[in-house]
Structure 1
Amino acid sequence: MKSKSALVLEDLRTQLRPASVAQVGGFGPSADPITSWFLQGVSLPGEGLPVWKGQPMFPLLQIRTDELPVVPEQLKDVALLVLYHNLESHPFDQPHGEGWLIREYATLEGLELLPAINTPYRAFPVRWVSVNDDAPGWEDAWDVIDLSDVNEDEDASNCFFDDFNRYSGTKVGGYPTEIQHGAGIQDFVFQVGSEEKVNWMWSDNGIGYFHKSPEGIWTFSCQFY
């Protein structure tokens, strides 16, 4: 490996991010519904399930932020959020509220379990594992560091892909795990992977990415194989 490219990779190692990675199943659920879950959520009294095209949406993922070992800046004033998805189709690149929706709660007070809804998916509680070495993918990494020297060095390129950890499942914080192209690191908050135990898949084993702007606007995108 050339010295210049080796220095670039060393610099990249200083740019690795911490993240909270979801552990799905393998442990018993809590009696408290106000915890992190796939396919189970809570709401304020009378709020109920959100509706899209006349049909209720379901809670795909609930995140309780004080359970996260790593909390992104965008969630510092959020006690709990619930991501909803419709039962009809994946709303690829649609704005917030069009087939998907995120509800945020500043406090856990008064939240109660949502009514059950029939879906093809399986509910599982979620625990969060702390990692401190999440690396960006190739395209997103260019927004972090100039990879020109690495691009011209085969050994360094192999090292970029083989020697850095990228967590492709459901996670909060870190870098988005790109599949086809850059997913965008600016304003990235969390991603939802294709979770086998939940029977959830974004098209062909894809990943859904969720970003939140400084103005509080959520956006969704997805990549798959």
Structure 2
Amino acid sequence: MNPAARAELDQLRLALRSASLGTAGGFRPPQDPLTSWFGRGVGLPHETLPEFEGSAMFPLLQIRVSELPFVPEQLRDVALLVLFQNLSRHPFDLPHGEGWLIREYASVDGLVALPGVAHPCRPFPIRWTRVDDDAPGWEGAWEIVGLTAVNGGEAASDAFFDDFSRHIGTKVGGYPYEIQHGAGLHDFVFQVGSEEKVGWMWGDNGVGYFYRSSDGQWRWECQFY
């Protein structure tokens, strides 16, 4: 490997990010509804399940922020959030509130379990694990460091793909896991993977990415194989 390519990879190592990785189940479900869950959610006493095209949506993911070993800056003032999805189709290209919705709560005080609705997921509590080695994919890495020398050498190119960790599952923080192309690094907060144990899939083993701008606006994207 030539020195220029090695230097580029060393620069990339300095840009690795921390993240909280989510694992479904594997321990006794807690009685407290105010924890992190796949397939269950809470809300204020007056809140009902959000609707899309006349049908109730369901809570796909609930994140209790205090349980995260790593918390991204966008969630510093959030105590709990719930991601809702509709039951009919993936809401590709739809804005926040249409077919998908994230509710944020600055405190967990007064939150109660939402009424149940039939949905395709098997509810599981989530255990979070911290990693400090999450790396961007090929296109995302170019937003951080030029990889001209890496691109020009087989050993360096192999090192880019083999020597860095890129976490595909559900995670908060880190980098969006690229499947088809760059997913965009700006404002990225968390991703939801295709969770076989839960019974949830984005297309063919895809990933849903969720972004929050500095003014609190959410958007999402999705890639799959």
TM-score by length of 1: 0.99
DSSP-derived class of the 1:128 partner: strand
Q: Distance in 2 between matches of 1:30 and 1:146?
A: 47
Q: Distance in 1 between matches of 2:24 and 2:54?
A: 31
The equivalent residue for 1:80 is 80
Q: Alpha-carbon deviations, 1:87-136, whole Å to 9, x = none?
A: 00000121101100000000000000011111121000001000000000
The equivalent residue for 1:180 is 180
Q: Which amino acid aligns with 1:5?
A: A
The equivalent residue for 1:101 is 101
Q: Distance in 2 between matches of 1:59 and 1:120?
A: 11
Which structure 2 residues correspond to residues 64-213 of structure 1 after superposition, within 5 A? Answer: 64-213=64-213
Q: Which amino acid aligns with 2:89?
A: S
Please say if residues 166 and 177 of structure 1, whose CA atoms lie closer than 8 Å, have aligned partners that are also in contact: yes
Please say if residues 70 and 130 of structure 1, whose CA atoms lie closer than 8 Å, have aligned partners that are also in contact: yes
Q: Distance in 1 between matches of 2:58 and 2:217?
A: 21
- Residue 59 of structure 1: CA displacement? 0.1
Q: Which runs of 4+ in 1 moved over 2 A?
A: none
Q: Distance in 2 between matches of 1:116 and 1:208?
A: 24
TM-score by length of 2: 0.99
Q: Distance in 2 between matches of 1:6 and 1:145?
A: 12
- Residue 162 of structure 1: CA displacement? 0.7
The equivalent residue for 1:18 is 18
Structure 1 unaligned blocks of 5 or more: none
Q: Which amino acid aligns with 1:121?
A: C
Q: Distance in 2 between matches of 1:6 and 1:135?
A: 16
Could you tell me the percent identity over the aligned residues? 63
Structure 2 unaligned blocks of 5 or more: none
The equivalent residue for 1:7 is 7
Q: Which amino acid aligns with 2:128?
A: W
Please say if residues 80 and 105 of structure 1, whose CA atoms lie closer than 8 Å, have aligned partners that are also in contact: yes
Please say if residues 211 and 220 of structure 1, whose CA atoms lie closer than 8 Å, have aligned partners that are also in contact: yes
Query: How many pairs does the alignment contain?
Result: 225
Please say if residues 93 and 222 of structure 1, whose CA atoms lie closer than 8 Å, have aligned partners that are also in contact: no
Q: Distance in 2 between matches of 1:130 and 1:23?
A: 11
The equivalent residue for 2:33 is 33
Q: Which amino acid aligns with 1:13?
A: R
The equivalent residue for 1:52 is 52
Query: Are positions 1:224 and 2:224 aligned together?
Result: yes
Query: Are positions 1:61 and 2:92 aligned together?
Result: no
Q: Alpha-carbon deviations, 1:141-164, whole Å to 9, x = none?
A: 111111111111111011100110
- Residue 177 of structure 1: CA displacement? 0.3
Q: Distance in 1 between matches of 2:9 and 2:119?
A: 45
The two structures, once aligned, show a CA RMSD in angstroms of: 0.6
